[in-house]
Structure 1
Amino acid sequence: MQVLSAEAIPQFQEGISLTLSKWWALQIAVENCWGGPHSRDKALELSSRVFDFFYKPNRREPIYIDDLELLLEEGLESFNTVADDGSIEEVAEKLMVMHEECLEGNYKSIQKLKEVKSMPVPRVNQEVYDSDEDEVEDDDSMRETEASDMMVDSSGSLPSTNHPQIQKNDGRHQPMPDAEDGWTVVPPRKNRGRKN
């Protein structure tokens, strides 16, 4: 079975890193530390695991995209995050194609990735839920300060909210930011109890 050349190895490693750095589900999990205080290290570890998946000098068995998808899914789960937007399959396919290209000494797709700027990932402040009572714990004074600094546009000019959802394993969906301006539409806080 064909393996990556010495020249192709660093190219492919960079391609993996670039691909994962542009994967929205992973980046929002890293930026918001959903994998704990070492979220960036976990992302680097995932990149290494993906490379090891492809690069085994004495490999005899073929590489299956299903196995790669499972690896990516498990990597995302280490951030307590589930992507139900089809991005796991998309990232896996890109990596498979990139690997084939690198085997042929073709690095054009990696060069294209270098030229595409990553969209900034906004910080998402999550509410903490009590697992037993499922009630929101929050700091009232902080909420009041934030509320006084915010204005709501009710003129109907809000951007479309038909974005794919990133779901934390606690069952709540995180809205994706609008691609044009980076703002996120947040649902109202109706019917949520407060802990006394």
Structure 2
Amino acid sequence: MESISTGNDAASTRQKGDAASHLRDGVSLLFSRWNGLQMAVQNQWGGCDSLQKSQQLATDIFSWLFQSKAMVYLEDLENLLYESMLFSFNTEIEDGSIEEVAEQLMMMHEEYWHGNH
């Protein structure tokens, strides 16, 4: 049997694409405002490719949040951010910003899955 696509299917697909785009933009915006990460990039604490590393981190976090079918835990996000800063930028951030960024990411993830973008 052939399935017949309705306008609702196209609208639903477009909405999901818009939601993913908003999530990607939100992650990028959040990272661009994260002082610890921006200091690491500006001072090249991760080497001459620090900017690319920060962009890759944003892409990785977006992909993880976007593709996650299971529950995302705050502690997992915090650990991922901490390890990324440590291994990619040789930086330990102890100002509480990792926890703040992780909380913001959790809120964005929740809004994304509930369609509140």
TM-score normalised by the chain length of structure 2: 0.81
Query: What are the ranges of 5 or more consecutive residues in structure 1 without an aligned counterpart?
Result: 108-196
Structure (1 or 2) with the larger CA radius of gyration: 1
1:69 equivalent in structure 2: 78
Larger RCO: 1 or 2 (CA < 8 Å, sep 6+): 2
Task: Give the alignment partner of residue 91 of structure 1, picking from 95, 101, 112.
Answer: 101
2:114 equivalent in structure 1: 104
Q: 1:104 to 1:62 in 2, by over 3 A?
A: closer
Tell me, in whole angstroms, the C-alpha distance in 1 between the residues paired with 2:92 and 2:112.
30
Task: Give the alignment partner of residue 66 of structure 2, picking from 42, 52, 55.
Answer: 55
> SS where residue 44 of structure 2 aligns?
coil
Counterpart mapping for 1:1-196 below 5 A: 5-56=16-67, 59=69, 61-77=70-86, 78-107=88-117
Tell me how many residue pairs correspond in the alignment: 102
2:75 is matched by which residue type in structure 1?
Answer: D
Query: What are the ranges of 5 or more consecutive residues in structure 2 without an aligned counterpart?
Result: 1-14
CA deviation profile, 1:13-33 (whole Å, cap 9, x unmatched) = 000000011111000000011
Quote the RMSD (CA, aligned, Å): 1.5
TM-score normalised by the chain length of structure 1: 0.49
CA deviation profile, 1:123-158 (whole Å, cap 9, x unmatched) = xxxxxxxxxxxxxxxxxxxxxxxxxxxxxxxxxxxx
> SS where residue 30 of structure 1 aligns?
helix
> SS where residue 35 of structure 1 aligns?
coil
1:65 is matched by which residue type in structure 2?
Answer: L
More strand, by proportion: 1
CA deviation profile, 1:172-191 (whole Å, cap 9, x unmatched) = xxxxxxxxxxxxxxxxxxxx
CA deviation profile, 1:93-136 (whole Å, cap 9, x unmatched) = 001001111223323xxxxxxxxxxxxxxxxxxxxxxxxxxxxx
Tell me, in whole angstroms, the C-alpha distance in 1 between the residues paired with 2:25 and 2:113.
14
